[in-house]
Amino acid sequence: MKRTSLPQNLIAATAVAVSIALTSAPALHGQCVSGLGVTPVQAGTQNFGLTSISQDFTTMVSASTADAAPPVSVPAFTKAIVSGTGVWALPVTAPGYEYDPIYRLTLQPTQNPGAYEIMYQTQGFNLPPTAVTDLFSAGGTAWAISNGQIYNIAAAKGTGAAASFKGRIEGATSDGTYAWFSTSLGSLVKINLATGTYAGTVTISDAALGSMSFNGDHLWVAQGQNLLEVDPQSGTNLGPVQFGGSISSVIFDGVYLWIGNGEKAGLQKYDIHGLGFAGDLTPGGSGYGALTFDGAAISAYSFSSPVVTKVRACDMHQYPSTSLPAAPISAVFDGMHTWAFYANKGMISIR
């Protein structure tokens, strides 16, 4: 397939002043003012800090540091993820054009104290020869889905596909040794992170699997109203936990699993150490499509509402709601800021 440049009107850099509130590193999850005695735990095992890369980057927008953060004018994106090298975003395909459909976005300091720029890179990746249809993050690596194959796009250019699959990829996570991908046909595909090669497929059931996470011991995989606990060593399904509604997203904060429940339009907290459900919040809306964890709080983003629900992880204290310009199609936390992307809006909000 021949690739041509993205239309100039979509990639032209616009010097738009935006405000970004830069803060210090987030507080540890367990430092809860309610005094519940939760042991402090640093979220995750990966460093999601922004990496300074200058090669092939062009200034997208200018940014200064004030309290409010209006959206930035950019190409419209359909999904974004975070890996160890920045925020990766998949733009909407422009009719009549074929192009390298991946953006790597980073914040870069300028010569002005406290001022930053959003930079983008669209070339030099291990891109597939056919259109990218989805993006996932696992093991600190960005993965692209294209035509039944999984590509490590952060690998050396021309590396090729890491694995093939049947059906549709629905979720991804890592246990530190393998990157795991759930499929619509009830299987888990695994890729060896050290070698970047296919390591096998495990069939869990005949029903479609969904979002997934890893808690340090087991994989937790959404399947309809159930959350399946899977032993990554044996591939054994250790049994389902029923949540009473369709599970749209799952993340782990170092202590608890958090479940975005699309059917109940709720946010549920689950203790993996045998204590079961630890909290349930149903603020309304039409379900949560994205969950982020900043080291202290969970932010839940609705499929249809611009209102962001934020709760303290240790005790589910609900903070005052904040509003975005629209309901985001994707939201990610990069270690310092939350990026929200809007379908067909051509905007990014950074907070």
Q: Write the pLDDT tens digit of every residue in 241-287.
A: 887 778 889 999 988 999 887 666 588 888 877 666 766 676 555 56
Nearest to 293 by CA among 269, 313, 320, 272: 313
* Angle ∠(75,293,34) on CA atoms, nearest 5: 145
Average pLDDT, the chain: 74
Q: Are 271 and 277 in contact (CB under 8 A)?
A: yes
How far apart CA 345 and CA 299 sit, in angstroms, is 21
Q: Compute the Cα dihedral for 322, 325, 326, 327 and give only its sign.
A: negative
Residue 54 in any domain: the answer is: yes
Mean pLDDT along residues 184-198: 96
Predicted local distance difference test score (pLDDT) of residue 336: 81
* DSSP annotation of 35: -
Our measurement of the distance from residue 231's CA atom to the centroid of its chain's CA atoms, rounded to an integer in Å, reads 23
The residue that leads in pLDDT, 231 or 85, is 231
Predicted local distance difference test score (pLDDT) of residue 65: 34
Predicted local distance difference test score (pLDDT) of residue 123: 79
How far apart CA 328 and CA 349 sit, in angstroms, is 9
Sheet with 178-183: list strands edge to edge: 169-174, 178-183, 187-192, 197-203
Phi, psi of 294, rounded to the nearest 5 degrees: -105, 15
Residue 308 in any domain: the answer is: no
Global pTM reads 0.79
Nearest to 203 by CA among 225, 244, 235: 235
Lowest mean per-residue pLDDT among 68-82, 180-194, 295-309, 333-347: 68-82
Lowest mean per-residue pLDDT among 143-147, 195-199, 320-324: 320-324
Residue 6 in any domain: the answer is: yes
How far apart CA 299 and CA 95 sit, in angstroms, is 34
| Digit-coded pLDDT (tens) for 223-234 | 988 899 999 999
The residue that leads in pLDDT, 273 or 183, is 183
Bridge partner list, 242:
226
Q: How many domains does the chain have?
A: 1
Parallel, antiparallel or unpaired: strands 17-19 and 58-64: parallel
The residue that leads in pLDDT, 336 or 216, is 216
Lowest mean per-residue pLDDT among 14-18, 29-33, 296-300: 14-18
Predicted local distance difference test score (pLDDT) of residue 32: 58
Residue 190 in any domain: the answer is: no
Q: What's the domain range around 90?
A: 1-23+46-161
The residue that leads in pLDDT, 162 or 79, is 162
At 9 the three-state DSSP class reads: helix
The residue that leads in pLDDT, 345 or 2, is 345
How far apart CA 275 and CA 271 sit, in angstroms, is 5
Confidence grade of residue 194 (pLDDT, cut at 50, 70, 90): very high
Residue 198 in any domain: the answer is: no
Residue 249 in any domain: the answer is: no
Mean pLDDT along residues 40-64: 29
Residue 112 in any domain: the answer is: yes
In the chain, % of residues over pLDDT 70: 68
Residue 68 CA neighbour count, 13 Å, CB half: 6
Compute CA distances 32 → 259, 271, 273, 283, whole Å: 21, 17, 20, 22
Nearest to 272 by CA among 330, 216, 199: 216
How far apart CA 220 and CA 215 sit, in angstroms, is 8
Predicted local distance difference test score (pLDDT) of residue 345: 62
| Digit-coded pLDDT (tens) for 294-337 | 889 999 888 788 888 888 988 888 888 888 878 888 889 988 88
Contacts for 42 with CB less than 8 Å, ≥ 6 apart: 28, 29, 254, 295
Confidence grade of residue 86 (pLDDT, cut at 50, 70, 90): confident
How far apart CA 213 and CA 247 sit, in angstroms, is 13
Confidence grade of residue 183 (pLDDT, cut at 50, 70, 90): very high
Lowest mean per-residue pLDDT among 5-9, 170-174, 328-332: 5-9
Bridge partner list, 119:
59, 106
Confidence grade of residue 43 (pLDDT, cut at 50, 70, 90): very low
Predicted local distance difference test score (pLDDT) of residue 116: 65
How far apart CA 334 and CA 136 sit, in angstroms, is 14
How far apart CA 154 and CA 121 sit, in angstroms, is 12
Mean pLDDT along residues 169-173: 96
How far apart CA 29 and CA 256 sit, in angstroms, is 10
Compute CA distances 4 → 1, 8, 97, 131, 154, whole Å: 10, 11, 7, 13, 21
Q: Compute the Cα dihedral for 8, 11, 13, 17 and give only its sign.
A: positive
Contacts for 320 with CB less than 8 Å, ≥ 6 apart: none
How far apart CA 156 and CA 153 sit, in angstroms, is 8
Residue 67 in any domain: the answer is: yes
